[in-house]
Structure 1
Amino acid sequence: MTLFCAAATAVAERPFPKPRGLVNDFAGVIPSDYEQKITALCREVLQKAGTAIVVVTMPDIGGAEYNDYANRLYSAWGIGKKGEDKGVLIFVTVKERKMRIETGYGVEGILPDGLVGEIRDQYMIPYLRKNRFGDGILNGTMAVAQVIAKDAGIRLTGTAAPRRVKKKRSNFSYLPFLIFIIIFMFLPRRRGGSWLFFLPFFLGGGRGYSGGGGMGDSFGGFGGGFGGFGGGMSGGGGAGGGF
């Protein structure tokens, strides 16, 4: 029975396509103007930093587990130069509504899983959920490129900063409570008590969220040329999730 299930999964799984370039929109969800920008950016990062960023969209993966599929696709294509393993796969499967950023061994130090998860959550998933695949993938690519460029000490020119989606700040206002505290300060204290008793209630709540850290907001852009497939390997680093 187990062998039958495994065989059924293997049959259902979509075979790995052959790479077309650094951007491989097999699902046909990236608008052409976005694809041009993403391609140019990936080329410049490859030329200047020697790191291959490869984008893949799939219409579906035929029932395969998406994290495993992305990892095996990375190895099958050999993203990055063999021995250096400086590569990143940005993977989206549309029917399953899953995405993953898979990192090669050579970039795990600058793109640890936690930071990749931040890029996923703040730069990609909010757009992918709205089927804005061009925005989500471009933003994710720019955020990854920014980290690589900073580490390599290079300047990327010609594009805006990636747009991070922040959690909304609280509408809580301290002003009414501060006025209330000031009034209490000038009221006579009751025997056995103090206005200070109320202070923790007014200072303990209403903390807003400032948005994530770890990512700067300056960025630059593009270049030319092609390559990026030289036998690179990934050990499963990165982060994925549903949208």
Structure 2
Amino acid sequence: MNTWRSAAMVFLFVPLVWGAPGLAGAAGVEKKSAFPRPLGYVSDYAELIGSDWQSRIRAVCKELEDRTGVEMIVVTIATAGPYSHAREYAEGLYKEWHIGAAQQERGMLLLASLKERQAVVVLGRSLLSAVGKTKLDELSGQYLIPMFQNARYGESLYRATVGLAAASGSAVQAASEPKRASSAGFWMNVAVALAMLFALWRFTRPERRHPFQRWRRGGYWSTGQGGFKGNFGGFGGSTRGQGLS
């Protein structure tokens, strides 16, 4: 069963296809030839991206992975052959390179095939809800489809990368906020429990049978009210010394 869904289809068969890797044509992919070795965040095998745009794309991908754990790879190829469609090539490449495997399937592959004039986005399962069809339609119409007409591959792929990073990054961060809040609530409960135990210990220890025993010995108040004022003034002076005034 083919579970790939087309997010845009126009003349010259320039689609933006997306789906979860491993769900389409796996048996057919395994019979095909081996894939090239990865070259980092950007693997420009078709030599379509200038060095400046490559640097920009790498910077976006690195920042995305550092902040959210999402691994995004951008690839260009001269042809998808012997595959019949670039989506088959992209799916096989995604699995071969284990993109996003270390980040709980937070992987993303943007591939452009020059001969077939096709652009493909492959998403890990954890990102399917983050980068939806609407966003892919938008990126396809604005950047990926026009780049096969105007040949501005570097700029178009860079801007598509920024759009994908923004969509996936914001969704991942939003999903992590409830976990952080839950963790903060847990430690707050622990702090309250410890405070209650401390208060219970203070008021049940033997010394508390005569709560004013220390005061009678003059440990705190033997200097009287004047001494209290002097101590308070010293605290205020210390505070100003620390730059808090």
TM-score (norm 1): 0.55
Deviations along 1:178-211, whole A, 9 cap, x unmatched?
A: xxxxxxxxxxxxxxxxxxxxxxxxxxxxxxxxxx
SS of 1:129's equivalent in the other structure is helix
Residues 14 and 62 of structure 1 are in contact (CA less than 8 Å); yes or no, is this contact kept in structure 2? no
Question: Residues 52-131 of structure 1 correspond to what in structure 2 (within 5 A)?
Answer: 52-64=71-83, 65-82=85-102, 84-131=104-151
Separation of aligned partners in 2, 1:141 and 1:102: 13
Distance in 1, matches of 2:134 and 2:93, equals 22
What one-letter code is carried by the residue in structure 2 that aligns with 1:127? M
Q: Does residue 40 of structure 2 align to residue 21 of structure 1?
A: yes
Q: Which AA in structure 1 matches 2:108?
A: V
Using CA pairs below 8 Å that are at least 6 residues apart, which structure has the higher relative contact order? 1
Taking a change above 3 Å as real, the CA distance of residues 32 and 52 of structure 1, as seen in their structure-2 partners, is same
Q: Deviations over 1:74-127 (max 9, x none)?
A: 111110134710011000111121111111111001112342232222232223
CA distance in 1, matches of 2:147, 2:86: 19
CA distance in 1, matches of 2:124, 2:148: 24
Task: State the alpha-carbon separation in 2 of the partners of residues 151 and 106 from structure 1.
Answer: 10
Matched, 1:49 2:68: yes
Q: In structure 2, do the counterparts of structure 1 residues 59 and 104 end up closer, same or farther at CA, with 3 Å as the change threshold?
A: same
Structure with bigger helix share is: 2
Within 2, Cα distance between the matches of 1:83 and 1:35? 23
Q: Helix, strand or coil: the match of 1:88?
A: strand
Higher-Rg member (1/2): 2
> What SS class does the counterpart of residue 73 from structure 1 fall into?
helix
CA contact (8 A) 2:79 2:114 kept: yes
Change (3 A) 1:83 1:41: closer
Q: For 1:117-155, what per-residue CA distance to the aligned partner results, in whole angstroms no more than 9, with x for missing partners? A: 32222232223321110111001101001112322449x
Equivalent position of 2:55 in the other structure = 36
TM-score by length of structure 2 reads: 0.55
1: CA distance, partners of 2:141 / 2:135: 10
SS at 1:144's partner residue? helix
Distance 1:149 1:129 in 2: 29
The equivalences for 1:1-243 within 5 A come to 15-64=34-83, 65-82=85-102, 84-153=104-173
Q: How far, CA to CA, are the matches of 1:41 and 1:112 in structure 2?
A: 20
4+ runs deviating over 6 angstroms? none
CA distance in 2 between counterparts of 1:38 and 1:52 reads 13
* Corresponding letter in the other structure for 1:103: L
Amino acid at match of 2:171: D
Match of 1:207 in 2: none
Question: How many pairs align?
Answer: 145
In the alignment, the residues of structure 1 paired with residue 108 and residue 137 of structure 2 have an alpha-carbon distance, to the nearest angstrom, of 14
In structure 1, the residue corresponding to 2:130 is in which secondary structure? coil
Structure 1 gap segments, 5+ residues each: 1-8, 155-243
Deviations 1:30-53 (A, max 9, x none): 010000000111001011110011
CA shift, 1:14, in A, is 6.0
